[in-house]
Chain A
Amino acid sequence: MNPDPLLSLNGVTIGYPGHPVLDNIRLTLHRGDCAALLGANGSGKTSLLKTIAGILPTLHGSLVTHPPNGPRPVVGYVPQREAFDDVYLLTGYDVALMGTFGRVGAGRFVTSTEREFVHECLRSTGAGELARRPFSRLSGGQKQRVLIARALAARPDLLLLDEPTSGIDSTTCAAIMALLKRIHAERQLTILLVTHDLGLVRRHLETVIWLADGAIRQGLVTELLTQERLNELLHLS
């Protein structure tokens, strides 16, 4: 684990007005972390991810970025693929291009340099050939590659992925995890991904954040995913 913190939550309550999901939580993400966010259904994984992304405001307390007076880290967000409406006639490139909109002012056009960068992001995620294909007709794995390219096009400091491998076959799943590992190694990005797949976490990741009983446990895969700890976390002992 890198000692240099990127952001932390100290005594933060998250959830929805009148319906807190996690109360008084403490969590620190370090620069260069590549962590999995695990937990049972309804444990608050997506709520926590959305709070870190800035989509969901905290109910109490605040999210502190480091250094506190420095610029806020840029977030590359990869939502669940099912979130998109097929009525939009967008190509893979159109979707990936949206990643640059954070840097391009309102009413301004995306420059050719940015456009080339988007193509580069698509190529780097193995989605170069999907640029002209309709996004709505892509397979689950193909959509995921385009969405990761879009997140990279934002030039993020922090990459957040909401269940990037759910509903995808094991070969594609492994390919996406290999892609994320490569991106992590090449760009030294901080990556946090929500998943249910313990095997996948064991094979590809080093750090785990586990949500259980409204509390957060953070540690290395080798420490937290041992049989004893799993029995304890899942109340199987």
Chain B
Amino acid sequence: MQTFIEILSPGFLLRNAVWTSLLIGLACPLVGVFFVLRRLIFMGVAMPQISSTGVAVALTLHVWFGHYHGPHDPTERLLAFAGSVTFSLLAVLWLAFLERRGRGLVEGRLGTAYVVSAAVSILLLAKCPQAERGWMNLFKGEIITISSADLGLTLATFTVVLFLLWLFNKEFLLVSFDREMAITLRKNVAGWDLLLYLLMGLAISIAVLSVGPLISFGFLLIPPLIARLFANTMRQFALLASAIGGVGALLGFVLAYHWDLPAGPTDVALLGVFYAIAFFAAKWRRSRHQPEISSEQSSPAA
């Protein structure tokens, strides 16, 4: 409890890391809900990795121009953001095209994209030890060096993304749930799909830049998967996922700080524990309610 009070105090040295972690924990699951609904779990894993390759490319640009020991100044943060966004959006457009075409093994391509992007990142960074250290910290989920500017950028981006997801929720839900119905209602299905993917890509790129790919895909996927086990409505699904993410982020940070562990992996491992507990709790709950559901389903059909 003392650790908890300490990390929430305004004078706490790592307060930016705490607030960023909490923000990612609350916001990423709300975006992740759409990954689960559209059954794009693999995409939720591959996208942050591809996005981090964008960061690696941006951080090693000077090596490409023959300056192996170039300076790493604060402006490269902007370059990293540009790299992350560019790679995320290009990947999202490519994956949207694959999903729309609906041919071939999409999971296979996503898996390939994941491993190839990880390998390319490592190769790119091999020639620049300074950038490699920064990228590895990002990859491992070391989030202690977040500046106020990064926190502000993360907050602003997620505010825009979540506002648009809320505002156009009915359109996104319609095109995701019943594409054909959406067409008969004369909705621009391709346009709404594209906007949804762009918002997902933007959320991922800023999350990756702030906390790295590990925490990003942990918070994108695990809280919605847990929430799906207990929620009864879409609203409950989204709010519960966000609450689980928020609690996981805060508690993970407390544990990491208390035991001197890296915050990112602690957060994700904690979410894994939550998922395991939730899975068995849901199974137990289902077994208790099974007779009730069965009798409900056997009621007159129409």
Q: Interface on A for B, CB 8 Å cutoff?
A: 50, 53-55, 75-77, 79, 83-85, 87-91, 94-95, 98, 101-102, 104, 106-107, 110, 126, 134, 137, 139-142, 144-145, 150, 154, 160, 168-169, 171-172, 175-176
Contacts and interface: CB of A to CB of B under 8 A. Distances in A.
Contact of A154 (B180, B185, B237): B185
A141 B302 CA distance: 5
Nearest to B233: A89
Interface string B164-188: 0001101101101110111111110
A84 B184 contact: no
B218 to A, nearest CB: 20
A144 B233 contact: no
B183 A55 contact: yes
B14 to A, nearest CB: 37
Nearest to B185: A102
* Residue with the greatest number of chain A CB neighbours at <10 A, chosen from B37, B182, B185: B185
A98 B174 contact: yes
A176 B302 CA distance: 8
Contact of A53 (B39, B168, B170, B184): B184
B75 interface: no
Nearest to A50: B180
B234 A89 contact: yes
Contacts of B1: none
B178 to A, nearest CB: 7
Given A141-B302, A142-B302, A176-B302, A89 B232 contact: yes
Interface stretch (B86-94, B123-131, B293-301): B293-301
B298 to A, nearest CB: 9
B232 A134 contact: yes
A126 B183 contact: no
A134 B234 CA distance: 11
A96 to B, nearest CB: 11
Contact of A107 (B168, B173, B180): B168
A150 B293 CA distance: 25
A225 to B, nearest CB: 26
Chain A contact residues, majority secondary structure: mixed
Contact of B184 (A75, A89, A140): A75
Given A75-B184, A77-B180, A102-B186, A139 B233 contact: no
Contacts of A76: 184
14 contacts: A54-B186, A77-B180, A77-B181, A87-B36, A87-B39, A89-B237, A90-B234, A101-B171, A102-B187, A139-B301, A140-B301, A150-B181, A171-B302, A175-B302
B138 to A, nearest CB: 32
Interface of B: 36-37, 39, 167-168, 170-171, 173-174, 176-178, 180-187, 228, 231-234, 236-237, 293, 296-297, 301-302
B184 A101 contact: no
B37 A172 contact: no
B121 to A, nearest CB: 32
Given A89-B232, A154-B185, A110 B177 contact: no
A87 B37 contact: yes
Contacts of B183: 53-55
Given A53-B184, A139-B301, A83 B171 contact: no
Contact of B302 (A87, A107, A137, A172): A172
Nearest to A72: B186
Nearest to A53: B184
B177 A98 contact: yes
Contact of A144 (B171, B177, B181, B302): B302
A135 to B, nearest CB: 10
Nearest to A135: B177
Contacts of B232: 89, 134
Contact of A172 (B176, B180, B234, B301): B301
A54 B297 contact: no
Contacts of B236: 89
A126 B300 CA distance: 13
Nearest to B180: A55
Contact of B297 (A104, A139, A171, A172): A139
Given A55-B183, A142-B301, A85 B39 contact: yes
A85 B40 CA distance: 13
A171 B301 CA distance: 9
A150 B180 CA distance: 13
